Amino acid sequence: MNETDLAERLRDSLGAFAGTVRTSPDAYERALREWRRRDRRRRLVAVVIAALVVAAADGVGLWALNHAGSRPPVVFDAPPPAVAPGP
Amino acid sequence: MTTDSCDPDPLGGGWAGLRDVEREAAVTALFDRHHGELVRMAVLLGAAADAEDIVAEAFYELYRRWPRLRDPAAAPGYLRSVVCNLTRMRIRHLQVVRRHPEVDTPGPPIGSAEQEVVLREDQREVVLALQQLPVRQRQALVLRYWLDLKEAEVAAAMGISCGAVKAHTSRGMAALNRALSARQRADR
């Protein structure tokens, strides 16, 4: 069989086979429900992760502040300079 | 304080709500236009009973990534590409499952009562021979000869180069020709 004949036969067979395929009438409603459910779930997961990150950052910050009180200051450890009296 | 005249909240959800409504409308329009064709394509590629689930998954991927889509005209090509990938993954999964005989697997994809009645013998031979081809060759032939896509579009859908599409198409046609000739000889 030459290539043109084979291509024609292939097109004909694929077209006939595709013609037997039926789609469900409620495919759109089911798909829409699923999109919305998964989208809500994705957003909820994102919010929970963001809340956990913020809570962890708060915890670390409070812990650091709590442990910093007993140490001498690092940046301004010299006594403040004397201010000359004004005229 | 008066309400701003350019209140971006006509639908009650702010800009995000408005964007969601626009996204849903755009994807719904694409669903109406392309769903049937994509389900048929998935069946031809070997998705069988999972075709609708695969296409629904492809539409969800589009729905999720809609804000990042640069050009809405690229959406059909993106959907074809996702359907091709998901179908290939499903076929590979079934091939792995079939190596374990204790697990029940679905039978061959062709053979429903309607297909038995509607398809002529010569058409059924071609479809059966097509289903014996490697996945890439089958994809190249279906996209090229059923959807009549250009080589570049087939390459984009399959995620491979144009050269690889040519190679898969030519090997697929040669294998199909061999299979059909062998069957004709066996029938004589």
Q: What pTM did the predictor assign?
A: 0.73
| pLDDT tens over chain B, length 188 residues | 333 443 333 333 444 565 778 888 889 999 999 999 999 999 999 888 889 999 999 999 998 888 888 888 889 999 999 999 999 998 888 878 877 766 555 544 555 656 666 778 888 889 999 989 999 999 999 999 999 999 999 999 999 999 999 999 999 999 999 998 888 788 77
* Beta carbons of A17 and B42 less than 8 angstroms apart: no
Judge: B43–A35 Cβ closer than 8 Å, yes or no: no
Across the interface, do A39 and B59 touch by the CB < 8 Å criterion? Answer: no
- Which among A18, A19, A34 is the nearest to B60, CB-wise? A34
ipTM of the shown complex: 0.74
Answer whether A10 sits within 8 Å of B145, measured CB to CB: yes
The amino acid occupying position A48 is V
Spell out which residues of chain A touch residue B52, defining contact as CB-CB under 8 Å.
23-24, 27
Q: Among all residues of chain B, which has the CA nearest to that of A4?
A: B173
Q: Which of B63, B115, B145 sits opposite A35 (nearest CB)?
A: B63
Note the pLDDT tens digit of each residue in A19-44.
Answer: 888 888 889 999 889 888 998 999 99
- DSSP-derived 3-state class of residue B150: coil
Nearest to B57 by CA among B87, B24, B33: B87
A64 to chain B, minimum CA–CA distance in Å? 37
Report the alpha-carbon distance of residue A53 to residue A48 in Å, rounded.
Answer: 9
Q: Band the pLDDT of A71: cuts 50, 70, 90.
A: low
3-class DSSP assignment, residue A20: coil
Q: Which of A73, A36, A49, A19 is nearest to B112 (CA)?
A: A19
B132 reaches A (C-beta below 8 A): no
Q: What pLDDT score was predicted for residue B24? A: 86
